C-alpha cells in the first residue's frame, strides 16, 4: 500500500530540507499540513503539489578566469 501521509521528519528526509525550512514553507502556506492529535502530517498529494510549484534552478555560466595574475 502506498503511503498517503508523512510526518515532518519524513518530509525533511524526502525533500532534503531542514525542519526549520519545512516549517517556514508551512507558515508561508506553500506546504499544507494537517494535525492528528499532536502529530503534524503532510499528505502525499500536498507534498507533490509543493514540489511541482517549485521554480526551476537557474545557473549562470561562469566565464573562464585567468589565475595567478595571468594577462
Q: Could you report the average pLDDT of every consecutive run of 10 residues in the chain (71 residues)? A: 96 97 97 97 97 91 69 58
Longest C-alpha distance within the chain, in Å? 67
pLDDT recorded at residue 59 = 87
The alpha carbon torsion through 23, 25, 31, 34 (nearest 10 deg) reads 20
**Amino acid 63: pLDDT:** 74
Report d(CA 67, CA 33) in Å as an integer.
50
For the chain, what is the radius of gyration of the CA atoms? Answer: 19
At residue 61, the pLDDT reads 80
pLDDT of residue 36: 97
Beta bridge partners of 43: 5
- Residues 25, 22, 26: CA angle, nearest 5 degrees: 35
Amino acid at each position: 500500500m502506498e503511503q498517503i501521509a508523512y510526518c515532518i521528519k519524513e518530509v525533511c528526509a524526502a525533500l532534503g530540507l531542514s525542519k526549520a525550512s519545512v516549517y517556514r514553507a508551512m507558515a508561508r502556506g506553500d506546504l499544507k499540513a494537517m494535525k492528528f492529535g499532536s502529530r503534524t502530517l503532510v499528505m502525499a498529494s500536498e507534498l507533490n503539489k509543493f514540489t511541482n510549484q517549485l521554480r526551476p534552478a537557474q545557473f549562470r555560466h561562469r566565464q573562464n578566469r585567468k589565475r595567478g595574475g595571468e594577462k
